[in-house]
Structure 1
């Protein structure tokens, strides 16, 4: 029987068949083609042979009852539904759509809701062996749904040459359907579709999932939960101003290594703890990899909760580049998410202030995440395990806008130099750990760094190496006046000082032409020095420097920091070392709990003033090291806080050079009191030339000072009129004091014990000026002839003793010698020997013209 042309209601035909007694069993199929122009019902239990395209016109319903078989006689044959298709199969008697015997396959069913008959419905339908893609309206699918939202329940789609179902601009309801052994996708859909799913299954298809065709989402859409995964091929882009919502329990797979979900609008993926949303590769294993999720500049309103993102980061034509989730110029929120098994980084942030809360990074090939210097995310309850670095890596570069490195439970990892630009403030929260990846990596501050830790939650700067050793990274650098407002408080800085292409040089903390505040910090295990200062007035308080191979603190002569309550232990030198050089401006060596150490000669030039606070210890590192005063020195100790000048390590005479006061020294401003000088006088390339203190051509004032254990003399004076009051000389290898021609110091209350000579040695044959040898408290001594020339006038104060060392020692007067003693205070000329005898010394000789 053949129905051809325009088919009516189908009622008459049904009646005829029944009247002829023809049943579905063994009956000839009913041939149909053309157009169904009015409501029509087929079946039940009949076979229909579609010999060409069969079209249900708009406004018309074709009902197919249970047990019917609809068979298509050619590869190009389709059922085209512009009206409504109502398939009423049952579990026991489904309606089957298939190829006619001998036909390789057929086209498919094309549902296009251009009419007003309502949405189609397929219940217990079996579609098999279609999808020919041979002049077929359904193209490469067996069921093509366009601009319609039919209901498909308990249907089976099997054996399609290509896709089973294609959805275009559809919100179809597909439930309890089976997709089996189709040549391509179980389901394919465009971005305008938001179908409803439940209870579906797929097996044996080329793709057991829902392929989402690439393109741009330009409508608000929902991807509803499905037992079948959504598969991206390749990129899906959510355009600005549009939102894609993904329901809990949904799985999104990237089909290839180039597949991305690109968000320029809003992605809302709110899973639950019981039903997380999963973004993964096609195999959901490391056998395949995809790109990732890219959040562009207008994607800031996006939010992911209870999402698992894994097996991405391909970096193969992927917008996410070297990460699995990339936020560029946007700040989405990720809450209760897991980022795992990326081929590269788990997360990448560029100019982002993303919010990450209870995010876990696991088993990513590189670091947990990375970010650029323009990113300032907010972290809460972050964890990481099994990554190359369980840290957030910071790419090198300049921090050019102010921001905050929020506390994160995992460290920040600085890959290369990070520079805080001038005028920019970087705040680091308490308990944050900053790790450095390379031995050349520094944190360079030209602006303001506020690293304000707390006693219980310090900020840590350290190496990324699991078994760190000194020199594993560079250091912190404060450079320029723009960083003066910087503060380090309760910070721990360890294992730096590599000096390998590092701007920090030979220290863990370098401060250059800057004056930040460093307080309550610990600096430890530097390969060289702890802190280096250049041209700095930094404040360093209550800091502990330990385990540094070099000096605890080292500074140049242009630095005058403020110190208070610092400690040093276990360093190469537990001191504040001053590099050799010439001061270019006046300053003060502040009272420090650590000793100062002069590494070499330090020169205070003419016009420059140096003040040394009471209680300081000034050490000298080598036997050639001197403190040279050509300007002025004020070293005013007290009875309870002496100033000590001594050697660095060797407590033996001659361990350092000494202090030298030169002819240009400002005598009025050069004052020393309660100072102790010990173990100097080396005479090894020393300005002091063998004495521990050498005053030449100037008149400094020294009171209540002591000179002890010099290798040679305690004090040399050549020219000028220095004033010494209540000064003691003890155990010096040579003379207590030696004075040269035309030198008339003011000596008062001088004492000397245990010296080579407990006396003031007078030397020289060119006494040509007028002056007084005052009563010093210790004798004067002449070892070889002293000559007062014709122009010279010397007065010896009453009570003075002059001792002569040898029989050849004379005092020769060609000028004038005034010696006016008294019965109570005679002037004595005698031998220096402890048991003198006649002829133990020479004589006083007054030559012709002498005025004595």
Structure 2
């Protein structure tokens, strides 16, 4: 580029030739120590190392540098040097320096390190108090190790197990393994080179598989695991049923902020443990993530997926609960994974509270009984229902049946029964694929309230795809704002249960409310409301004796009466909206469709309505197919 300046008249002019070039980045020379991605430098845990470079700038511009690391810490950074302190746990780490000139151009250099610890081979059982120190790698390969004293494991320790090997507490032994968020304690396979490097010196020839080592087994009390990682365990062994961390019959164990991955069998097996705390843990890519006993409370702090990849869950997604009596207050509020009730019979004798959004799954033949003044409280919320469904139903609570086909069907599980003084509270719930028989009254409904319960309340609840949705027989019970759809039989109630148009009953095989009575006298209260006009009521099995009580019908209520039965209007009784209702045969499909008896009504299908005040049967245009009056 040429610049020419012309002077005033009589003065000389001046010309400059200027060459403009683009700015060049600085140069980084002689980095020390010398490392590469394929040949990383080796350092010990918590070791400090000085890193240095030479720098130059082609333009002679001022320079500044920025030092960063993936793990560990940077100390006293200068333009050409800094101290890096390795992390307290083994593994890979990188340090990068970025040098920038005043023109904004930069260059970088990265050092690669393999952070190692001392390898300690554990060959003797542990007695007394023993500490496994930060930065070391402890290998259990020669034999299974028993802990008879106190084993303290410091943050950053890596424990590696040979194939099939395990660590077990016994006698008065216990393990205190308390890591840190940035320095966890790792329990893994000897073949796992990601933690502690290539300890078995096979140069990565063999990779670890789930279940390649056994378990950490606790047969004693007051163990503690915090910020621990468990990988590749759970192989079967003589001491235990499969579980990577096996709590066995221990009590008071704390498992907090731990990670469980790549387990065969169950990652955390706590089905026989008592007073256990399980909080803030992550479970992913295990066969089964977690098994607990029925008396173990569980909050919503655990996650059942890889926190870095939401799609990485578990083969059998669920919390598998061992069948045993619930004798004390228990709370389940975990919402991501379903509580899968394993075993045949469940008994709740204390109080079981379920939180909004919880899913409970039952397997074939399973049922749950609430009795002996116990309470099952399931209060969901709009948009966060509590769901009771089949183990084959993956639409709620994940894929709990693993590779098996997702093919839920009515009757996959049996029932939940409230009886013998038990109480049930169900709000904003879903009941799906339950019920023991396809029958309008025999067998058990998905939710079955017996006449000797202390009362069951059912509100804002959906019953769907059941053999029978709900049976409610206790005079202390109540139902409102519920929906029944795609069931075989939707609803059976005692004569004393009030029902109205807050109940939506549609798209079932048979759409009706079936009335039964299992007591004498039949009525336990002065007035009862049968005011649902969307489907017919069907009086089953017994003559109706009004006993001086008031029955309030809706304008358009249809009451269909079973074969050979009659309605007895006793003195002092009253049926409100009598003339606006229809009384007809159980087979009268023209009034309410098929309710399970087929069609083809005939006169004499039922006896009629006997009015005690006139000592005769009464007739009228709204009384159809009765034998009387003649």
Is the pair's TM-score, using the shorter chain for normalization, greater than 0.5?
Answer: yes
- C-alpha distance in 2 between matches for 1:475 and 1:688: 48
Q: 1:827 to 1:481 in 2, by over 3 A?
A: farther
Q: Which residue of 1 aligns with 2:166?
A: 441
Cα deviation for residue 518 of structure 1 reads 3.1
Q: Secondary structure at the match of 2:318?
A: strand
Following superposition, the deviation at residue 515 of structure 1 comes to 4.0
1:552 pairs with one of 286, 289, 299: 289
Deviation digits for residues 356-387 of structure 1 (CA, Å, limit 9, x no counterpart): xxxxxxxxxxxxxxxxxxxxxxxx97678xxx
Q: 1:526 to 1:851 in 2, by over 3 A?
A: farther
CA distance, structure 1, for counterparts of residue 462 and residue 470 of structure 2 = 10
Q: What secondary structure, in the 3-state scheme, does the structure 1 residue paired with 2:334 have?
A: coil
Aligned ranges 1:709-788 → 2 under 5 Å:
709-710=465-466, 712-734=467-489, 736-739=490-493, 743-748=495-500, 749-763=502-516, 768-771=521-524, 772-777=527-532, 778-782=534-538, 784-788=540-544
Distance 2:549 2:129 in 1: 75
Aligned to 2:154: 428
User: Which residue of structure 2 aligns with residue 450 of structure 1?
Assistant: 177
Matches within 5 A, 1:506-517: 506-511=242-247, 512-517=249-254
Say which one has the larger Rg.
1
Q: Which residue of 1 aligns with 2:414?
A: 657
Q: 1:290-332 CA distances to partner (integer Å, 9 max, x unpaired)?
A: xxxxxxxxxxxxxxxxxxxxxxxxxxxxxxxxxxxxxxxxxxx
Aligned-residue offset at 1:576: 0.3
| 1:85-104 equivalences in 2 (<5 Å) | none
* TM-score calculated relative to the size of structure 2: 0.63
* Residue ranges of structure 2 left out of the alignment (5+ in a row): 1-113, 192-205, 306-311, 393-406, 592-599, 618-630
Structure 1 pair 532/838, CA: closer, same or farther in 2 (3 Å)? closer
Q: 2:129 aligns with which of 390, 401, 420?
A: 401
1:693 aligns with 2:447: yes
- 1:760 CA drift (Å): 1.4
Q: TM-score, normalized by length of structure 1?
A: 0.47
SS at match of 2:537: strand
1:371 aligns with: none
Contact 1:473 1:496 in 2 (8 A): yes
Aligned equivalents of 1:500 and 1:427: distance in 2?
24
Answering whether residue 358 of structure 2 is matched by residue 616 of structure 1, we say yes
Residues 537-564 of structure 1: CA deviation (Å, up to 9, x unaligned): 4443443323333x32111222223341
Q: How far is 1:426 from its partner? A: 0.7
Higher strand share: 1
Separation (CA, whole Å) in 2 of partners of 1:399 and 1:754 = 68
Could you tell me which residue of structure 2 aligns to residue 543 of structure 1?
281
Query: Matched residues in 1 for 2:235 and 2:535: separation?
Result: 58
Shift in CA distance, 785/557, structure 1 to aligned 2, threshold 3 Å: closer
- Residue of structure 2 aligned with 1:835, choices 575, 590, 599: 590
8 A contact 2:117–2:135 mirrored in 1: no
Displacement of 1:600: 2.6
Structure 2 CA distance, aligned partners of 1:807 and 1:598?
38
Task: Report how far residue 402 of structure 1 moved.
Answer: 5.0
Give the alignment partner of residue 266 of structure 2, picking from 520, 524, 529: 529
1:844 aligns with 2:587: no
| Equivalent residue number for residue 476 of structure 1 | 216
Q: How many angstroms apart in 2 are the aligned matches of 1:426 and 1:747?
A: 63
CA contact (8 A) 2:291 2:322 kept: yes
> What count of residue pairs does the alignment treat as equivalent?
445
Distance change in 2, residues 1:596/1:838 (3 Å): closer
Equivalent in the alignment of 1:811: 566
Write the distance in 1 (CA, Å) between the matches of 2:459 and 2:503.
10
CA contact (8 A) 1:779 1:800 kept: no
In the TM superposition, residue 738 of structure 1 has moved relative to its aligned partner by 1.1
Alignment match, 2:597: none
Give the C-alpha shift of residue 411 in structure 1. 4.7
